Amino acid sequence: MVFLATPHRGSDHATLLNNILRVSAAHGARPYISDLERVSASLAKVNDSFRHYCDGLTLYSFFETRELSLGPTTSALIVPKESAIMGLPGERVSLMYADHRSICKFESPDDPGYATLTEAFNAINKEIFKRSKSQL
């Protein structure tokens, strides 16, 4: 399983996003965005439950390293490293040289981020094959 800048412990910018959407006539506030705030009970419940089901999974957690522009004079990491990683045994943690918006967008197969993800997927496939072979 691969997580790309997933806010496992929430993001300080969830409230800002909801405020922006609230004033936007085209969108409006989204109630589920509150679940991504730092002190979200829903998020804590999901993470606590996941710990009971992830045994045997190969986990990769990637975190963003570049700030996302939030306006003409403001930028920030949307999901900092401490929120992007779960701290589970065997979790593989790695950085991506990307901001939150571009962490899963690549210009070409030569893009370093694309290569990093391809390596992770290949490692996961090898692990699955190895496990299935040992069960025969």
- Residue 64: is it exposed, middle or buried by C-beta count within 10 angstroms (0-12/13-18/19+)? buried
Burial class (CB in 10 A: 0-12, 13-18, 19+), 17: middle
Greater confidence (129 vs 34) lies with 129
Q: Is the pLDDT reported for residue 20 higher than 90?
A: no
**What per-residue confidence (pLDDT) applies to 37?**
81
pTM of the model: 0.83
Average pLDDT over residues 30-51: 83
The pLDDT > 70 percentage for the chain reads 92
Rounded Cα gap, residues 55 and 43, in angstroms: 19
- Confidence check: pLDDT of 26 > 70: no
pLDDT tens-digit map of 51-107: 998 888 899 999 999 999 888 888 888 999 999 999 999 899 999 999 999 999 999
Considering its fold, how many domains does the chain have in total? 1
Instruction: Determine the structural domain holding residue 102 and report its residue range.
Output: 2-134
* pLDDT higher at 40 or 45: 45
Beta-sheet pairing, 68-69 with 75-76? antiparallel
Q: How confident is the model at residue 23 (pLDDT cuts 50, 70, 90)?
A: confident
- Smallest CA-to-CA distance from 69 within 59, 57, 78 is with 78
Q: Give the residue from 67, 60, 105, 104 showing the smallest Cα distance to 84.
A: 60
Count the helix, strand and coil residues of the chain and give each as a percent rounded to the nearest 5.
40, 10, 45
Instruction: With a cut of 80, say whether residue 8 has pLDDT above it.
Output: yes
